[in-house]
Amino acid sequence: MSRSRFEVIAEDKYSRARCGKLALTHGVVQTPVFMPVGTNGTVKSIEQGKLKEIGVQIILTNTYHLYLRPGMEVIKHFGGIHNFMNWHFPILTDSGGFQVFSLGRLNKVTDEGVEFKSHIDGSRHFLTPDKAMEVQMMLGSDIAMAFDECIDANSDYITTANAANRTYKWAKRCKKTHNLDDQMLFGIVQGGIYEDLRIKSAEEITALDFDGYAIGGLSVGETKEVTYSMLDIVVPLLPKDKPVYLMGVGTPDMIMEAVKRGVDMFDCVLPTRLARHAMAMTSEGNLRLRNAEFQFDKASLDPNCDCYVCKNYSRAYIHHLFKCNEVLGMMLLTIHNIYFLLDLMKNIREKIKSGVGLMSNVR
């Protein structure tokens, strides 16, 4: 049986939105929550102490990439991923399923698993559902993800049905292999953009009684409207006493719409990727700081933001840093962009708890 570590503490009057507490080995996470992505055991352009300082509760690391480098021998030597990267707070590890999709030209997928060529040195590896569990148990993350097959959103019906069926078969193997009591295991619902396949996948995956449920195969090329329609179909089919995780979503509008539909957890590379390209996320939309219009701008990035960057630096200074290719520019925008999404989640939680409702403005 799965372990109940999730408690719903408040519900929105006007939608399916709710606040919860997710009790994990390395801490309690308040939901809805945004998880910054630390692919290689680091969130790009920001160190762990600053992550905690700005309010990050949980981060995501990547099984596929850590398996290849530094490798399990190194991680095991340090006693797990928390010790290795000196982050003693919750961590979720993905299973490698998305990398099977995104690095598809290097991979061959069969019912047994995935044969792939390393993008680093060309060496060949074989990743099975059982292996994905063994690696994640060795990493020692607080939440492990079942191994799934993620495909392009525009795939035809038969291809999508086959992938969803394979995901179910792999999920059963993951559940059988996983035996770490202090690590939660989430199942993943697939089914693409087809209503009947989504329903079938949700029913099959929930029947396996995982600790939580992720909705995969969205935000991979389909329109926002399709994403929302799939959430409308899937979320009501998931257990109300388990956390719901929408994978790969990080824009404020999509987070809001997904929260209203009952989603509790999000992850995305967007805030750090935008920061590396001189883009600031703000309550008035994204700002492209390389633009000449900011050369003399004394304003902070966002007048509604009280992060360290907005309190101490002007748009003109950050514009200057990027024009000079100074690393500090990326670091400052990374702090701001992550804080911006954390603040969004905090305001969402406060509105749900207060009873005001998410139909009112959430900055």
Q: Is the dihedral of CA 20, 145, 138, 96 positive or negative?
A: negative
Query: Which letter does DSSP use for residue 236 in this model?
Result: G
- Can 94 be counted among the known catalytic residues? yes
Q: What is the pLDDT of residues 139-194, one digit of tens each?
A: 999 999 999 998 888 899 999 999 999 999 999 999 999 999 999 999 999 999 99
- Can 241 be counted among the known catalytic residues? no
Identify whether the C-beta of residue 248 lies closer than 8 Å to the C-beta of residue 304. no
Q: Residues 94, 148, 264, 343: which is the catalytic one?
A: 94
Q: Which of 26-40, 114-128, 212-226 has the lowest mean pLDDT?
A: 114-128
In whole angstroms, give the CA distance from residue 41 to residue 88. Answer: 13
How far is Cα of residue 202 from the mean position of the Cα atoms in its chain? 19
At 3 the pLDDT is 55
Residue 47, SS3 per DSSP: coil
User: Per-residue pLDDT averaged across 293-300, rounded?
Assistant: 98
Please check the confidence at residue 116 and state whether its pLDDT lies above 90: no
At 328 the pLDDT is 98
At 104 the pLDDT is 55
For the record, the structure tokens of 135 come out as 């690696």
Identify whether the C-beta of residue 139 lies closer than 8 Å to the C-beta of residue 92. no
Cα–Cα–Cα angle for 6, 204, 250, rounded to 5 degrees: 55
User: Per-residue pLDDT averaged across 238-263, rounded?
Assistant: 97
For the record, the structure tokens of 77 come out as 């030597």
Q: Residues 12, 264, 267, 343: which is the catalytic one?
A: 267
Domains of the chain plus CATH, in order, are 6-268 (3.20.20.105), 270-356 (no CATH)
In whole angstroms, give the CA distance from residue 226 to residue 214. Answer: 17
At 1 the pLDDT is 44
- Give me the percent of the chain exceeding a pLDDT of 90: 85
User: Per-residue pLDDT averaged across 315-336, rounded?
Assistant: 98
At 363 the pLDDT is 38
